[in-house]
Structure 1
């Protein structure tokens, strides 16, 4: 029986899979190869680059027109600035992959001798030159994890590829594909030798094009899931397929992880007569988040980087782009797959990442809250969440703890919003869930608590968060309009507007308040919509 794959390259014999060659424009790639071009294919981690490049290697070799080799040079990462060790590792990787995939010993038989004779700054160029001269067919070399290398090691590799370019195809690889998370043009490489920053485009100015491998489309996501139905008879309810797409936005690892957990890990769904429902997908979503899966932990580790913080912090705040955000930071966050450009501007890539990011940024705080904040007092005898008590308790908690917490918070400007989310998560976890909407330029943070009361009743509590901007009355007026629009979209049963006042030295008694407001809509569309406003 095949299964959904969440680790390593896809094997279509063992795994449910989409045709790897359908993931990109094959004709475009073949055209570049026929023109003997060097080009880049980049994509976020665990998107399927390796599977696609392995399939491309096989396809090219099967044509009989090329000798194609895929190689992964990640092992050279440990060499860091040691150019000799790094280039030796790169050459060794090429030789090992050539032996294992092609049965070709040339590079392994000659790399050490060439390294000793030519030195690290010319050895890779020479071994590729001799290998190309030795073969009857033009070589198409696919180098994966190119951006695992740093500093002078990476600069040397790129320059040696550039140096040999003019001797292709008879005496150098006819075409080279560089694969990594980032486009070469975005590299900013510090050279210890030259004591300066070298850009990727200057080190490899013979690159013809950059291609990006995207996520699955909605149709591809559904098609992959339905392979399980075809093979086992177990059905996905249509809404469940929609929920997989909604939660993953087609990110390949997330699609496979959600489907694998739903179909192969849950005890109740191992009975193939039981269909996969929306509730099951929501359950697997939380299981993935709480298990700290490697993919999610690797992603969360990037949150500590300053250039990522510069992008994410204003997104959590809901503020606009400022001068601290540059194009390189933005390209880096997009290349990582953390954020994407949507119809409403720059947004977190999918709902699962939206959940993981605040959890990671408040992990220690959340652990402390588990020991100090009891959930039971916030739940009424009828099972409803007591929101008035909840916000009153948070006001006191925020008054007592925000100062010390913000002093040590990495995302200090977004600290109030993160602290609220951590507090809410402590109360809601185990009984309901929180959905988050945030992005650059939104002017607010949108939260939705979904709290089941009984089988036929659900509290849907909208929380709109804004930072006080000059006038309190204007901030409330704008906030009421935004709260109404979000609540109307979510079919909310109650709505709250939280206003954080970051004014230095203002007394807490002036910041803390609670009042009832009514949004009256517009002349064209009058409404009467009650909102509870909380000052902090």
Structure 2
């Protein structure tokens, strides 16, 4: 039986998959190869780049017009700026792949010879040249994980490729595809040898095109999921199909991971007579987040980088508090797949799963240190007493916010993160928090679904706003925004939290609670 793949390249005989060659514009790539172009294919990690490149290699070799080779240079990453060690690792990988594709290449026995005779700054070039002379067809080469290389090793590889470019196709690869997370133009490489920062564009200025491998479309996501239905007869309900798309926005690893969790790990989903429901998809999502699967763990690790913070923090708060974004920071996060840049330039987190996991992970330390029990806030009817809960948070924030902000990396977003840590500690196991935030919104919206014993939900919304200028104006804007959000969500309880970061004000001035009627809704406003 086939299954949804979450580790390594897809094998269409073993895995549910979209045909890899349909993931990009194959005629465009074939045109670039026929024109002897060197170009880049980039996309976030675990988006299917390697699967596409392996499929392209096999397609070209079956077609018979090219000798197509694939190699992954990630093994040279540990060499960092040790060029000799790095180039030896790269030639070893190339020799291994060449022996699989080209009969009697015998490169493995000559690796040390190339290093000793030509030196590390020319050895890879000479290996490529000798292979091209030994075969009768033009060579098309894909170099995968190129941006895994570090420092002078990466510079050396790019310069050797550039150096041999003019000798193609008889004595050097006719076409080369550099495959990685980032476009080569965006590389900022620190050279120990030159004691300078060297851009990828200057080291590899022969690049003709940069192609992007995107996420699945909504239609493609549905096609992939229905492969399971065709093979097993197990049906995805419409709500489940919509939930997978809405949660992942087609990110390939997330789609496959959710589907594998719900169809092969959750007990109810393993029973093929049971349809896959929206609630099972939500359960699968929660399991992935709590386990911190490798893909999500790598995402969390990136949040510690300063250039990531500079972009993510304003998105979390909805406020632009730095003069401007650095274009390199934005392109870096887009390439990582963390954010998307919408039409008109608006920035947003790439999908709802990332949107949920980012604040949860950034507030994990605070959440872990909270000795809170949800029982106190739950009535005999199973309903959570939200007003009492927020009064408790108001006091908690007064006592702990300054100390937690001092150690938080995302200081501007600290109030919102602390609130979410507090709520997550209470809500876990009894409901779910749906977060909405984005640059320019001027607020963070939380929609909480609390499961009741009779199978229904208690719905309430909490909006967080920072005081800039007048408290009264901030409240007035917040009332308009939160009631509109409550109407959209169908919430029965509405709360507005106003955070005042003015250090010249006392806590007695900041702390208040008032209920205001706005457009027929009663809104409980908490100041802190």
Same fold (TM over 0.5): yes
Equivalent pair of 1:98/1:104 in contact (CA under 8 Å)? no
Q: Which residue of 2 aligns with 1:413?
A: 412
Using the TM superposition, give the Cα deviation of residue 106 of structure 1 relative to its aligned residue in structure 2, in angstroms: 4.2
Q: TM-score, normalised by structure 2?
A: 0.98
**Secondary structure of the corresponding residue to residue 379 of structure 2:** coil
Using the TM superposition, give the Cα deviation of residue 112 of structure 1 relative to its aligned residue in structure 2, in angstroms: 1.8
Using the TM superposition, give the Cα deviation of residue 382 of structure 1 relative to its aligned residue in structure 2, in angstroms: 1.0
Q: Which residue of 2 aligns with 1:391?
A: 390
Q: Which residue of 2 aligns with 1:402?
A: 401
Q: Which residue of 2 aligns with 1:280?
A: 280
Q: Which residue of 2 aligns with 1:258?
A: 258
Please, which moves more after superposition, 207-216 or 437-446? Answer: 437-446
Cα distance in 2, alignment partners of residues 299 and 178 from structure 1: 23
**Secondary structure of the corresponding residue to residue 120 of structure 1:** coil
Counterparts of residues 137-176 of structure 1 (less than 5 Å): 137-176=137-176
Equivalent pair of 1:110/1:127 in contact (CA under 8 Å)? no
Counterparts of residues 157-306 of structure 1 (less than 5 Å): 157-306=157-306
Q: Which residue of 2 aligns with 1:535?
A: 527
Cα distance in 2, alignment partners of residues 63 and 374 from structure 1: 65
CA deviation map 1:282-329 (0-9, x unaligned): 000101111111110011110101110111111111112733520000
Q: Which residue of 2 aligns with 1:358?
A: 359
Q: Which residue of 2 aligns with 1:523?
A: none
CA deviation map 1:394-435 (0-9, x unaligned): 011111111110101011111111000000000111000000
CA deviation map 1:45-77 (0-9, x unaligned): 000000000000000000100000111110100
Using the TM superposition, give the Cα deviation of residue 529 of structure 1 relative to its aligned residue in structure 2, in angstroms: 2.6
Using the TM superposition, give the Cα deviation of residue 438 of structure 1 relative to its aligned residue in structure 2, in angstroms: 1.2
Counterparts of residues 356-505 of structure 1 (less than 5 Å): 356-369=357-370, 372-455=371-454, 457-505=456-504
CA deviation map 1:306-355 (0-9, x unaligned): 11011111111111273352000001111111111236821111111111
Cα distance in 2, alignment partners of residues 471 and 454 from structure 1: 43
Calculate the aligned-residue CA RMSD, in Å: 1.2
Using the TM superposition, give the Cα deviation of residue 456 of structure 1 relative to its aligned residue in structure 2, in angstroms: 5.2
CA deviation map 1:414-471 (0-9, x unaligned): 1111000000000111000000111111111111111122435311111111110100
**Secondary structure of the corresponding residue to residue 115 of structure 1:** helix
Using the TM superposition, give the Cα deviation of residue 101 of structure 1 relative to its aligned residue in structure 2, in angstroms: 4.3
Residue 54, structure 1, aligned to residue 74, structure 2: no
Q: Which residue of 2 aligns with 1:517?
A: 516
Q: Which residue of 2 aligns with 1:135?
A: 135
Equivalent pair of 1:41/1:213 in contact (CA under 8 Å)? yes
Please, which moves more after superposition, 13-22 or 98-107? Answer: 98-107
Q: Which residue of 1 aligns with 2:319?
A: 319
Q: Which residue of 2 aligns with 1:38?
A: 38
Using the TM superposition, give the Cα deviation of residue 193 of structure 1 relative to its aligned residue in structure 2, in angstroms: 1.3
Q: Which structure 1 residue ranges, 5 or more long, are not aligned? A: 520-526
Cα distance in 2, alignment partners of residues 112 and 131 from structure 1: 16
CA deviation map 1:79-124 (0-9, x unaligned): 0010111111111111112223445534323332111111111111
Q: Which residue of 2 aligns with 1:78?
A: 78
Counterparts of residues 42-121 of structure 1 (less than 5 Å): 42-103=42-103, 105-121=105-121
Cα distance in 1, alignment partners of residues 323 and 447 from structure 2: 31
Using the TM superposition, give the Cα deviation of residue 380 of structure 1 relative to its aligned residue in structure 2, in angstroms: 1.2
Using the TM superposition, give the Cα deviation of residue 191 of structure 1 relative to its aligned residue in structure 2, in angstroms: 1.0
Please, which moves more after superposition, 273-282 or 338-347? Answer: 338-347
Cα distance in 1, alignment partners of residues 232 and 142 from structure 2: 37
Cα distance in 2, alignment partners of residues 476 and 317 from structure 1: 16
Cα distance in 2, alignment partners of residues 173 and 224 from structure 1: 35
Using the TM superposition, give the Cα deviation of residue 140 of structure 1 relative to its aligned residue in structure 2, in angstroms: 0.5
Equivalent pair of 1:321/1:441 in contact (CA under 8 Å)? no
Q: Which residue of 2 aligns with 1:524?
A: none
CA deviation map 1:345-390 (0-9, x unaligned): 2111111111111121122221111xx1111111111111101111
CA deviation map 1:146-184 (0-9, x unaligned): 000111111111011001000000000000000000010
Dislocated runs of 4+, deviation >4 Å = 101-104
How many residue pairs were aligned?
A: 527
Cα distance in 1, alignment partners of residues 436 and 110 from structure 2: 56
